[in-house]
């Protein structure tokens, strides 16, 4: 059952040309980021003092620096490849954490219902009303000198701050889906509830 659902989802995705092009582009960027040490022609921090602010290769004819160099003589292509590792990580990790937090809170609210649902959704409303940028600044400043702020040159703190400021919409969406699914007949049968009793309410 599970594998057939995945196959059906993949077939629908494959029929969407724009989605497939986007997927291919994202995969290519991640591959470039992963294999940056093998693809980068130079150390991104190495300075070539005699080649500062050099233009790209098709303008200068110097193919040692394909995309040119910056004001310190560092190879732009190498810096782009290594910079992609940070950018793609920032794009992936906070979204994963946000989905995990929002999914857990949304499923808990939808399944438990009652007071639990009410408290979690009111908490989500409070977080949603709080300015996201202001919350991000507060968390970053408050914990930048802590153990969390020292890990990965502060990236771990940034991931955590982004994760705790963007889960509200996901939680609401998951909660709504859970509320719909839990009233379906096959779920009620598994729970030992008579579907006819629920439909007559």
Which neighbouring-strand residues pair with 69? 75
Q: List phi, psi (to 5°) of 75.
A: -70, 125
Place of tokens 């040490």: 37
Q: What pLDDT is attached to residue 10?
A: 87
pTM of the model: 0.70
Contact between residue 81 and residue 40 where contact means Cβ atoms under 8 Å apart: yes
Query: Using one digit for the tens of pLDDT, what is the confidence trace for 17-54?
Result: 999 999 999 999 999 999 999 999 999 999 988 888 88
Predicted confidence (pLDDT) per residue in 90-107, tens digit: 888 888 889 999 999 999
């Amino acid at each position: 059952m599970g594998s057939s659902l995945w196959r059906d989802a993949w077939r629908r995705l494959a029929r969407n040309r724009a989605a497939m092009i986007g997927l291919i582009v994202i995969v290519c960027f991640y591959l470039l980021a992963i294999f940056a040490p093998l693809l980068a022609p130079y150390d991104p921090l190495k300075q070539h003092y005699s080649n500062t602010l050099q233009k790209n290769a098709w303008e200068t004819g110097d193919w040692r620096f394909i995309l040119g160099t910056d004001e310190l003589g560092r190879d732009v292509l190498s810096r782009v490849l290594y910079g992609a590792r940070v950018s793609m990580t920032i794009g992936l990790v906070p979204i994963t954490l946000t989905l995990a937090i929002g999914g857990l809170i949304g499923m808990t609210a939808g399944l438990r219902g009652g007071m639990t649902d009410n408290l979690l959704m009111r908490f989500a409303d409070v977080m949603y009303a709080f300015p996201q940028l202001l919350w991000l600044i507060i968390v970053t400043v408050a914990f930048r000198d802590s153990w969390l702020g020292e890990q990965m040159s502060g990236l771990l703190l940034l991931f955590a701050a982004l994760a705790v400021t963007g889960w509200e919409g996901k939680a609401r969406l998951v909660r709504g889906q859970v509320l719909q699914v839990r009233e379906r007949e096959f779920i009620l049968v598994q729970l030992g509830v008579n579907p006819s009793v629920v439909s007559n309410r």
